[in-house]
Each structure stands twice: as structure tokens, then as C-alpha cells.
Amino acid sequence: MSDKPRIEDALTRFEAALEGLETAIARARQEANKPEVPDGETAALREDRARLAEELDQVRDNANKLLEANTEAESRIASAMERIQSVLSE
């Protein structure tokens, strides 16, 4: 007879654990059924990504043009300095 209170306590804890498990399962099901991003927002994100990719391509193209212009300017300046030094040393 002395085991009866311990068994009742164990059953009470077991029932509480089952209720907690059921609650956790219900929450998990709700989260699983909930879309992460609404469809309209997904489309907007895709459009933004496409726009940003295009802008990035333009920025890269501009950077390459600036690099080419810098190289050309550096070459012209070096050439001009050589001509000036040549004229000064005559």
C-alpha cells in the first residue's frame, strides 16, 4: 500500500509530460503549416534580387571602365613625364 502514492505521483508527472508533448506537437504542426514568407513577399524579394543583380553588373562594368581609364591616364602621364625630362635634359 505504501507504493500507491508514488505510483499516483508518477502517473501525475506522466500525464503532465504527455500534455506538454501534445502542446509541443500542436505548436510544431502550426509552424510547419505556416509559410515562412507570404507569396507576394516572395515575388517582391525575387524582383529586388533581380534588380540588385542588374545594378551590381552595372557597377562592375563601371568599375572596369574606371580601371581602364586609370591605366590609360597613368600611361599618358608617364609618357608626358618622360618627354618633359627629355626636353629638360637637352
Q: Where does the pLDDT of residue 2 fall: very low under 50, low under 70, confident under 90, or very high at 90 and above?
A: low
Q: State the pLDDT at residue 82.
A: 96
Nearest-10 Cα torsion for 31, 32, 33, 38: 80
N-to-C CA span, the chain:
122
Taking the domains of the chain in order of start, what are their residue ranges?
Answer: 1-34, 38-90
pTM of the complete model: 0.49
